[in-house]
Every structure is written in C-alpha cells, then in structure tokens.
C-alpha cells in the first residue's frame, strides 16, 4: 500500500515539473518582436546614456552660415582703377590738384601723375604707356601724322613770364631785348637802359628749359623765331627749377609759366609794339593782350571715356576750373 502511494506521489511531482517547464518556455518565446526593440530611457544606466549622441539644438545663425545663398549681401566696394598721366610741368599743378580732389570723392580711382615735360607726355600717350598726356605747347603736324588718334583738349590758358632777380633795376623789357639775350648777343645788363644789378659785374646769366619742355618749345618758336638759344644757357627741367635758380642768382634771367611766378622773382612787363607796356597777369593773358600767351592741353588716344573721360570732364567743370584759377592760370570758360 505504501509502495503504491510513493509511485503516485512521484508521478504527480513529475507532471507538475513538466507543466512548469512548459509555462517557462512559453514566456520566453514572447520576448521576440517589436517590444524587444523598444528602449526605455529610464531603464538605461547613466553610463550607457553617455554613449547616445545628443541632437544639435536648432540655431538660425548656424543655418544662415551653412547656406551661402541666404547670407546677407555686403555693400559693393567697386574695383580699383588706375589712371596714368605724364608730361608738362606747367599743366601738372592743375592736374595734380584736380586729381587730389577727384580721388577724395572717388575712392576707387588711383590717379598717378608725373612730369618730365610736354615732349615726354606726348611720347608717352603716343606709345600708350599713359592714359593722358599733358602739354603746354601745340601738337605739331608731324606728331598728328604719327599719332592720328590724338584728341587734344584745352584745359586752361597761360602766359610765359620773363623773370629776373629782384636785385635787378630793370623796369620792363622788349621782345627784341629778350631775343638778343637768349641768342647771346647781349651779355651784360649795362647794355640795356635802366637795367643793372648793383654790386655785380652785370654779367647776364641766361636760364632756360631743357629740350623736352613745352614752355621751351613755345618760347623758342614765338620769341626766338625758332632759332637755337645760346650754348651758355643753363637748362633746367622744370618751372620750379628755373624759378629757384633766378631767385638765387642776382644777374640771372629766366622764363616760367605765370602760374609759377612768386615774390622771390620779378616778372617783367613787356614793352610791346613800341607803344604799350603789358604786364604778365591773368587779365592780359585772357584778353590775349600779353604777347606770350598760350593754351594748356591734355591729350588722349581717341575720345576719352570711362575714368579718363570722367576725370577730364571734372577738370572742365566749375570745380575743376576753380582749381585752374586758384593755381594762377586762366580758365577756359
């Protein structure tokens, strides 16, 4: 009887064990599927959370920077333009002052100016190494034949003043006396009535310009009848150099643009046509009563346009012609 009870108990325990194993197997099978892929952040350890990359916060600035098309446009700065000018030292003060004022209101313009004389300016514009040539003399027919594209613009009027050292007592001079001095025929101030330099031997020191000078070309043509001046003439390369030499040399005589005349020298009136004495001043140059008057020019290759044209238009404007007057020249208006 006891043996039967033991067998029944063993069978019952075995059945219970089998049922429990089946239940466990069923629970394990339901762990596959979508629910297995869901992560509960609260169930993840803090150390593991550090390994999950955080999303970058939204930033309007960063978006604009990463999208060039959406950047605000900066103000246009323009492109630097260079204008090269060379030539006459007589025209140079006008053009230099005009360039300074023009560039003050046109920051994209770079105007570079050099002297050298009218001949240098004409050659440079002919060779197209500059944009504008400056000349204080007329363009010759030979030059116009060689450079048929030249366009010549008058920007001012000028006179050539004959100057002596203030120590000289001469009251005025005639055209013939000027010619005789520069041709080497008159060599002492004592040969001219009323002239003289106290404390000296009255030897005349002749000062002139070099061969590249438009002032020299005009002087030789109109006062020396195109003849070559004396070999003793000291050649200077600018109006300023002539002025300085005459101011420092008691027995000297020279010639400069009236725009360069200063208190350091005496500008001589010219006894003209044996009936009137004409002073080298703006009024007499404008009326053409002064016998040594001329035009001042700028030269371009073809009709000026762009920056070149705009700058020349500025020189001819009211502001530009005020500069002409302020520099001691006669306006063209």
Judge if pTM exceeds 0.75.
Answer: no
CA distance 89 to 86: 9
pLDDT of residue 275: 80
Task: Say yes or no to pLDDT of 160 above 70.
Answer: yes
pLDDT of res. 254: 98
In this predicted structure, the answer to whether residue 49 has a pLDDT above a threshold of 50 is: no
Question: Burial code of 286-305, b = ≥16 C-beta within 10 A, e = fewer?
Answer: eeeebbbbbbbbbbbbeebe
Q: What is the mean pLDDT of the chain?
A: 82
The predicted structure's pLDDT at residue 273 = 78
pLDDT reported for residue 17: 47
- As a whole number, mean pLDDT of residues 225-253 equals 96
Which phi and psi (to 5°) does residue 65 adopt? Answer: -65, -30
Residues 104 and 132: beta-carbon distance below 8 Å: no
Residue 243: name the closest of 160, 324, 158 by CA.
160
Residues 6 or more apart from 133 whose CB is under 8 A from it?
85, 86, 87, 121, 122, 124, 125, 126, 298, 299, 300
- pLDDT confidence tier of residue 274, bands split at 50, 70 and 90: confident
Residues 314, 54: Cα–Cα separation, whole Å: 65
DSSP codes of every residue in 161-216: EEEE-TT-----EEHHHHHHHHTTS--BGGGSTT---TTS--B-EEEEE-TT-HHH
Say how far apart CA 111 and CA 85 lie, in whole Å.
8
Name the band, by pLDDT with cuts 50, 70 and 90, for residue 91. Answer: very high
Q: How far is CA 164 from CA 193, 195, 202, 203, 237, in A?
A: 15, 11, 13, 13, 18
């Amino acid at each position: 009887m006891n043996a039967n009870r033991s067998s029944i108990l063993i069978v019952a325990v075995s059945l219970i064990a089998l049922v429990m194993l089946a239940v466990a197997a069923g629970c394990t099978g339901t762990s596959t599927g979508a629910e297995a892929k869901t992560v509960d952040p609260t169930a993840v350890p803090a150390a593991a959370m550090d390994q999950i990359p955080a999303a970058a916060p939204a930033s309007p600035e960063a978006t604009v920077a990463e999208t060039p098309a959406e950047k605000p446009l900066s103000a246009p700065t323009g492109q630097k333009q260079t204008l090269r000018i060379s030539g006459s030292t007589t025209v140079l003060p006008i053009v230099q002052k005009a360039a300074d004022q023009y560039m003050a209101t046109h920051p994209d313009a770079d105007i570079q100016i050099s002297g050298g004389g009218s001949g240098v300016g004409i050659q440079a514009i002919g060779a197209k190494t500059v944009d504008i040539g400056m000349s204080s003399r007329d363009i010759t027919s030979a030059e116009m034949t060689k450079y048929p594209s030249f366009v010549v613009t008058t920007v001012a009027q000028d006179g050539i003043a004959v100057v002596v050292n203030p120590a000289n007592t001469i009251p005025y001079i005639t055209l013939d006396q000027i010619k005789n001095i520069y041709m080497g025929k008159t060599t002492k101030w004592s040969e001219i009535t009323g002239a003289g330099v106290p404390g000296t031997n009255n030897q005349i020191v002749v000062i002139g310009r070099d061969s590249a000078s438009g002032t020299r070309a005009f002087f030789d043509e109109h006062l020396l009848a195109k003849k070559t001046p004396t070999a003793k003439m000291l050649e200077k390369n600018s109006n300023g150099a002539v002025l300085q030499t005459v101011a420092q040399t008691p027995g000297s005589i020279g010639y400069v643009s009236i725009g360069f005349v200063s208190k350091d020298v005496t500008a001589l009136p010219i006894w003209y046509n044996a009936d009137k004495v004409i002073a080298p001043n703006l009024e007499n140059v404008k009326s053409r009563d002064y016998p040594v008057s001329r035009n001042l020019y700028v030269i371009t290759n073809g009709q000026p346009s762009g920056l070149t044209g705009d700058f020349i238009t500025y020189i001819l404007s009211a502001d530009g012609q005020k500069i002409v007057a302020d520099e001691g020249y006669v306006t063209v208006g």
